[in-house]
Amino acid sequence: MKEVYILRGPSGSGKSTWIAENHESALVCSSDHFFMVDGEYQFDISKLSMNHSLCFKKFIDAILKGVETVIVDNTNIFKWQYESYAVLAEKFGYQVTLVELMPVTIEELRTVVARNAHGVPQSTVCQMVLDFETDCSYTTLKRGI
């Protein structure tokens, strides 16, 4: 069965860890990959939109090739941020599963803020948690931090 997993959660919530523990050999589509320069993560807000477009193009290429397991590894806080991935995947016969990695306690939130690998400010991580939009349209795996 062909599967697409759409990861959802703020920076530091364990998305990369989830991939390593569950689908290490899957094809991963992440806008973060396009911020890597000589092995170093270099965020540039002026490239954010372009990198999300490159991520979606990589996803389309994978779906068209029929890659068995594809993972979308972005924060995906709002439904509009991942809906086009899900719709396209379903049209090509993929089972879509949302994987929510959200802190549910203050201690988990502190852990997420401390371990986010990209230096995202605490206020931004907290805002992602507050803004998180639930979605019952797809099968959802919920995992605490």
Intervals of the chain under pLDDT 50 = none
Domain that holds residue 7: 3-143
Farthest-apart Cα atoms in the chain, separation: 43
pLDDT at 136 (0 to 100)? 87
pLDDT at position 51, please?
Answer: 82
Interatomic CA distance for residues 27 and 119, integer angstroms: 25
- 28 strand-pairing partners: 71
- Its pTM stands at 0.87
Supply the pLDDT for residue 36.
66
- Read off the CATH number of the domain in which 66 is found: 3.40.50.300
- Contact call for residues 97 and 5 (beta carbons, < 8 A): yes
The structural domain count of the chain equals 1
How far the first Cα of the chain sits from its last, in Å, is: 28
| Whole-number pLDDT of residue 99 | 96
Residues 99-140: pLDDT tens digits? 999 887 888 888 878 877 667 788 888 898 899 998 988 888
Please choose, from the candidates 16, 13, 14, 17, the residue with its C-alpha nearest in 3D space to the C-alpha of residue 33: 16
